């Protein structure tokens, strides 16, 4: 008996074709996942850039608003009579 057992050439070719189809499907899936990752990376970069731009303007505005609040609160307190 040979090493291939009772497999015919047609059986072997079928397994080779199935293996190639699995390899192509796997590569197509990886390619698709790669495109999704690229899209997600660009989306995350855009969100991060938006957050940075907002913080550039919000932090100074909040500091100024806080200082104005403290000044107005200090000015609005009634002065204690000595």
Tens of each residue's pLDDT in the chain, 82 residues: 556 578 898 999 999 999 999 999 999 999 999 999 999 999 999 999 999 999 999 999 999 999 999 999 988 887 765 5
Instruction: Give the pLDDT confidence score for residue 20 in this predicted structure.
Output: 98
Instruction: Give the pLDDT confidence score for residue 5 in this predicted structure.
Output: 74
For residue 50, the surrounding DSSP H or E stretch is helix 9-76
Straight-line distance from the first to the last Cα atom of the chain, in angstroms, rounded to the nearest whole number: 117
- Residues 22, 27, 29, CA angle at the centre, nearest 5°? 95
Q: How far is CA 7 from CA 16, 35, 66, in A?
A: 13, 41, 83
Instruction: Give the pLDDT confidence score for residue 33 in this predicted structure.
Output: 98
Instruction: Give the pLDDT confidence score for residue 4 in this predicted structure.
Output: 59
pTM for the predicted model, two decimal places: 0.55
């Amino acid at each position: 008996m040979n090493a291939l057992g009772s497999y015919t050439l047609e059986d072997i070719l079928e397994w080779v074709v199935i293996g190639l189809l699995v390899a192509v499907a796997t590569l197509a899936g990886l390619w698709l996942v790669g495109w999704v990752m690229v899209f997600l990376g660009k989306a995350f970069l855009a969100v991060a850039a938006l957050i940075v731009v907002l913080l550039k303007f919000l932090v100074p505005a909040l500091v100024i608003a806080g200082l104005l609040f403290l000044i107005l609160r200090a000015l609005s307190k009634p002065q204690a009579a000595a």
